[in-house]
Amino acid sequence: MRITPKSSEVRVPRFVGLMAVDAREAAEAGGVLLVAPDRPDFARTVVDYVVRQYPAPGVEVPRGAAVTVWFELGDDGGGVREPRRGGPPPGLRRALDEPGDPFAVLR
């Protein structure tokens, strides 16, 4: 933990890109408080990443001032991108009936 000198003004650390747990530690070391209006459970948030902050990094603020941070909004479907082919794996294909003529009943 970095100890900051006891002055009335501190520079806001850069929180963007940090996980919530790391952002809280950086805020404590930097002499500011973090608030997250989009996360009421901010104290328990661990692995979500900060995507925006106000005031900007490097701005001088009074020691103990609140810095607002926002996190990415949950799962945006940005998981693994790989080609998907329909149907079961090759070993299970034989368990399925082959599709017939869908209009056979109507004829």
Decide if pLDDT at 62 tops 90: yes
Q: What is the pLDDT of residues 23-60, one digit of tens each?
A: 999 999 999 999 998 888 888 888 889 999 999 999 99
User: What is the predicted pLDDT for the residue at 92?
Assistant: 46
Pairing of strands 50-54, 66-71: antiparallel
Using CA atoms in the order 35, 39, 40, 43, what is the torsion angle rounded to 10 degrees? -70
Q: Give the residues across from 19 on adjacent strands.
A: 49
Contacts of 10 (CB under 8 A, 6+ apart): 4, 30, 31, 32, 60, 61, 62, 63, 65
**Cα–Cα dist 81/63, whole Å:** 45
pLDDT digits (tens, 9 = 90+) for 91-106: 544 444 555 665 666 5
At 77 the three-state DSSP class reads coil
Please indicate whether residue 65 or residue 90 has the higher confidence score (pLDDT). Answer: 65
